[in-house]
Structure 1
């Protein structure tokens, strides 16, 4: 079952008073996010990610296309219907967007006040949410007294106040240090599993996709370059995202050798495949670069190998054992970005 369904989405911004000058921010995007999935949209600044996210909850109304959340076509709703539909969509922001004059509890309660939830019920729900995000003892603190990670936890609690089934994340970790980022990602993954929460997030950080996303899309110039489940993309030798998850900074040639990129996932990631090849064919296998890591949905690795030229049998054996073999290519923008993240 798809909780978010987007078809033919297009959004153009025109310069005021200059209809001949326009920027196409989102250009014909199709997207389906399954219930309980964590879907990441990865791209560099200006790719159209934020506009796409804002179209999902109609903070930006698209020029063309449809947006369905929970089976409801948001593009067909009037203002009142849209307000009601947004109760099922929570959103967390890059820079927290907290009210400085309110306490932690007051910020979380605000989302319930605007929907008319009674005071006693609000108090119980706020206490429950603060415990859920690890801030049970900070209810009376003000935003100025919190660290960046604590502020983001308040933002997450506020986004969950109305019990949404969909959570949108707008670069939620980009303003945080690496250690705090890891803690927030662990929290989001825990909430996803505990609440069966469907999460759509945008990010320019490969580490975010690597840590918690089961599905992802690469966005460039307002379009999806590729999208799908991480496990499926790992099976595609031409996948930019698969290469970006495991960037290889190594030579692409070596005299007297055939150089290939090898991707493994699942049980194959921990199998002694390279040792098996070396023993079976009595050859030296050079590992020029590579790593094995735990992703959200599977364990996977990618290596750049050099084997003696003139014999395809070792590579055929690796392929038969489930490894994906590809020729080394020049780094793509997403690989460079992944190496820097």
Structure 2
């Protein structure tokens, strides 16, 4: 649904994007994670060409936006909704007037605008609040208005620029739940920018981690967690690094119910000491990381058994082939 290739963006001598490739599948929630200055907001603005890249191409739904003239680009943008960190509501308008604004720009007749606005406010949980002014709303309610406005043109893609960073934790969870519901019910593809790992854990199917204008790693969240050495895994499960030589790190995704550590103790001549770990609930299911020390004559057989059980097994001080590093 979104394909960016070789994106570069320069502001004078400053390089904000340095050869970024981004591929977002239709119907997924894709997070771009990074600290302030990483280039993630510039990337988002390049996706709908609010910022025109210095080099590279951006295609949305198969259409190359970078090749369009102004009129064609404006029409293409109607299929791309955007929600903002600080809501960007018009204080002079009512809630209904804010949601109706893009419909007015598109020339939608008044009766159809009124019907569509009522439908959207009900969709985001603000039924009956159309006559209120923005100053009468809480932060979460303002963001719901922003989401309703972004959906006015029936977009296929929704861009979210730090949409929850100005909200308290409980409100953040309610807005993320709303985005997930819209993704499921409307089939929306959502590209969201965030510096919060909890946002990625809660709703994202895939993620790209940015730093210094580049993407350091990207892919499906579950796939990255199962990739030895992935930065995402280290940040979700912050165990002390590096592990002492010989210590084993076990990583799994999916159902954590099977007692594999107990099975190893029963089946093999080994002692297992648990040194640390945790289990997290992610958008795609559970994932966990456990650090253990194994001691005994059948340690090698026990590690092979754990791998056969589908766990990612990393032994500190060894290469992936098991040789001394």
**What range is the shorter-chain TM-score in?**
over 0.9
Q: Whole-Å Cα distance in 2 between the matches of residues 281 and 230 of structure 1?
A: 33
Q: Within 5 Å, give how 1:69-84 maps onto structure 2.
A: 69-84=60-75
Q: Whole-Å Cα distance in 1 between the matches of residues 315 and 26 of structure 2?
A: 36
Q: Whole-Å Cα distance in 2 between the matches of residues 127 and 328 of structure 1?
A: 59
Cα deviation for residue 250 of structure 1 reads 7.9
| Aligned partner of 1:96 among 74, 79, 87 | 87
**Counterpart for residue 53 of structure 2:** 62
Paired residue secondary structure (1:237) = coil
**Counterpart for residue 153 of structure 1:** 144
| Aligned partner of 2:313 among 325, 331, 338 | 325
Q: Within 5 Å, give how 1:231-246 maps onto structure 2.
A: 231-246=222-237
Q: Within 5 Å, give how 1:14-53 maps onto structure 2.
A: 14=12, 22-53=13-44
Q: Whole-Å Cα distance in 2 between the matches of residues 23 and 309 of structure 1?
A: 56
Paired residue secondary structure (1:252) = coil
Point out the more displaced range, 300-309 or 186-195. Answer: 300-309
**Counterpart for residue 12 of structure 1:** 10
In the alignment, structure 1 residue 314 sits paired with structure 2 residue 302: yes
Q: Whole-Å Cα distance in 2 between the matches of residues 42 and 50 of structure 1?
A: 10
Q: Whole-Å Cα distance in 2 between the matches of residues 191 and 303 of structure 1?
A: 35
| Aligned partner of 1:258 among 235, 246, 262 | 246
| Aligned partner of 2:263 among 276, 279, 283 | 276
Paired residue secondary structure (2:78) = helix
Point out the more displaced range, 302-311 or 56-65. Answer: 302-311
Cα deviation for residue 249 of structure 1 reads 4.4
Q: Name structure 2 gaps, 5 residues minimum.
A: 318-325
Q: Whole-Å Cα distance in 2 between the matches of residues 137 and 182 of structure 1?
A: 23
Q: Whole-Å Cα distance in 2 between the matches of residues 193 and 86 of structure 1?
A: 22
Paired residue secondary structure (1:30) = strand
Q: Whole-Å Cα distance in 2 between the matches of residues 288 and 316 of structure 1?
A: 20
| Aligned partner of 1:163 among 151, 154, 172 | 154
Alpha-carbon displacement from aligned partner over 1:183-209 (angstroms, at most 9, x marks no partner): 011000000000000000111100011
In the alignment, structure 1 residue 202 sits paired with structure 2 residue 193: yes
Point out the more displaced range, 197-206 or 244-253. Answer: 244-253
Q: Whole-Å Cα distance in 2 between the matches of residues 222 and 66 of structure 1?
A: 16
Q: Is residue 218–residue 225 contact of structure 1 (8 Å, CA) maintained in 2?
A: yes
Q: Is residue 258–residue 308 contact of structure 1 (8 Å, CA) maintained in 2?
A: no
Aligned Cα RMSD in Å?
1.6
Structure 1 length-normalised TM = 0.89
Q: Whole-Å Cα distance in 2 between the matches of residues 249 and 134 of structure 1?
A: 43
Structure 2 length-normalised TM = 0.93
Alpha-carbon displacement from aligned partner over 1:136-195 (angstroms, at most 9, x marks no partner): 021111111111111111100000000000000001111111111110110000000000
Alpha-carbon displacement from aligned partner over 1:272-309 (angstroms, at most 9, x marks no partner): 11121122225442222222222112321111222226
Paired residue secondary structure (1:312) = helix
Q: Whole-Å Cα distance in 2 between the matches of residues 181 and 261 of structure 1?
A: 32
Q: Is residue 285–residue 307 contact of structure 1 (8 Å, CA) maintained in 2?
A: yes
Q: Whole-Å Cα distance in 1 between the matches of residues 3 and 43 of structure 2?
A: 12
Q: Whole-Å Cα distance in 2 between the matches of residues 314 and 81 of structure 1?
A: 62
In the alignment, structure 1 residue 285 sits paired with structure 2 residue 300: no
Q: Is residue 246–residue 316 contact of structure 2 (8 Å, CA) maintained in 1?
A: no
Q: Is residue 250–residue 291 contact of structure 2 (8 Å, CA) maintained in 1?
A: yes
**Counterpart for residue 283 of structure 2:** 296
Q: How many residues align?
A: 316
Paired residue secondary structure (2:87) = coil
Q: Name structure 1 gaps, 5 residues minimum.
A: 15-21, 330-341
| Pair 111,280 (structure 1): closer, same or farther in 2 beyond 3 Å | same
| Aligned partner of 2:167 among 170, 176, 182 | 176
